[in-house]
Amino acid sequence: MKGVKFAGIVCGIKKNRKNDIGLAIFDKPAIACGVFTRNSVKAPCVGITKDRIKHPIKVLLVVSGNACVCIREANADTLLLSSALARKLGIKDSEIALAATGVIGIRMPVDKAVRAYPVLIDSISESHKPFSEAVTTTDAFEKVAEKSFFAGRKKISILGIGKGAGMIAPDMATMLMFIFTDAAISRGALNAAFKESVAESFNCISVDGDTSTNDMALVFATGTADNEEIKSNSAAFNVFRKNLKQVCLELAKMVVIDGEGATKLIEIRVKGAKTIKDAKQVAKTVANSQLVKTAFFGQDPNWGRIMAAVGRSGIKLVPELIDVEIQKMHVVKKGYEAKGFDEKKLQSALKSKEISVVINLNNGKAETVFYTSDLTFDYIKVNSAYRT
């Protein structure tokens, strides 16, 4: 993509000898917006980056394998990571946005990173591949999504690169997500489009209900597409917004598909709620239910667990109004087992890798969609032995 170059190499923080330090360098300083973890226990990089992106950014530095948090030296180490890089590149510390991901409470091996800077800088190229590998931790695959469209006669691109597989909950970004665009766009328009995109993508997925200390989603706009600046009231704004949302949603789904140990992508659509808040509350409760998630892993059409999860979601509801469909088959009608429900047929339909659940509360007009994964033996395997 025009306006941004990438690098990624092995510096030795991750044990698996995969790239663990990455750079994105902008041809022109990029305006940036971000959404950050709501966890009260935050890595220093969260606050530092949140502050720095108020001004244009020249470089994004990502370190994976260590979250650099809950350690007395974490703040100093984080600042050192960025000041050493700034010196090498001849830019200001404050022009670097930075993110870290990995284990909590182990000191960041800053030396390893700093020693790698010369090789890292030498490897800068147009390919985003080394960078997208450097961003991952327990991810089984790299997460990249791209869209292009025209604003007037100028082609605009949006490229998203992210990581996330565990500690994924519908509460803020809950992952690292970096979106790059060459669009010329006002800060206000970029911010509005991004907030909306995040709300309807990264904030609507759940793998295990945990959220991390380091989550952030950042968008960078370099303006190198030379289009007329997009403003919130431009004709091009809606097109930009739609494409940005699609990139975010594609990445969000990839995270769920890659949910640690996951074998299925489960879409949970809640309809007929009184308010969006109610709809989200129900979707989130079902999406996080261990019993629902294990049932789908077992391909067991156990819709009772969905009803039980809906019932405990805490919103006011009338059980006798609720309809539930799984794989487009009615399983619950007005709170009871649907007439003609064919359990064998549904069981067979549950073999699919994509599962659709529609819960209609028949109690209003608000609607939402969440994505979750099933809960499997491999989730336990990955997470019980994460560090050992």
**Would you tell me which residues interact with a copy of itself (CB under 8 A)?**
38-42, 67, 69-72, 74, 103-106, 166-167, 169, 171, 208-213, 288-291, 294-295, 297-300, 302-305, 307-313, 316-317, 319, 332, 335-337, 347, 375-377, 379-381, 383-388
Cβ proximity to a copy of itself: between 69 and 185 the closer is 69
Cβ proximity to a copy of itself: between 118 and 298 the closer is 298
Cβ proximity to a copy of itself: between 12 and 304 the closer is 304
For residue 377, the minimal CB distance to a copy of itself (Å) is 5
Cβ(81)–Cβ(49) under 8 Å?
no
Cβ proximity to a copy of itself: between 236 and 286 the closer is 286
Residue 181 annotated as catalytic: no
DSSP string, 157-206: EEEEEEE-SSS--SSS--SEEEEEE---B-HHHHHHHHHHHHHTTGGGEE
Q: How many CA atoms lie within 13 A of 32 on its CB side?
A: 34
The CA-based diameter of the chain, rounded to the nearest angstrom, is 71
Count Cβ atoms within 10 A of the Cβ of residue 328 and give its class: 0-12 exposed, 13-18 middle, 19 or more buried. exposed
Cβ proximity to a copy of itself: between 203 and 227 the closer is 203
Marked catalytic residue, from 78, 137, 174, 285: 174
For residue 372, the minimal CB distance to a copy of itself (Å) is 13
For residue 10, the minimal CB distance to a copy of itself (Å) is 23
Distance CA 7, CA 13 (A): 16
For residue 266, the minimal CB distance to a copy of itself (Å) is 14
Buried b (16+ CB within 10 A) or exposed e, 285-304: bbbbbeebbbbbbebebbbe
Contacts of 89 (CB under 8 A, 6+ apart): 58, 59, 121
Written as one letter, the residue type at 270 is: V
For residue 302, the minimal CB distance to a copy of itself (Å) is 6
93 DSSP assignment: G
What positions carry a catalytic annotation? 174
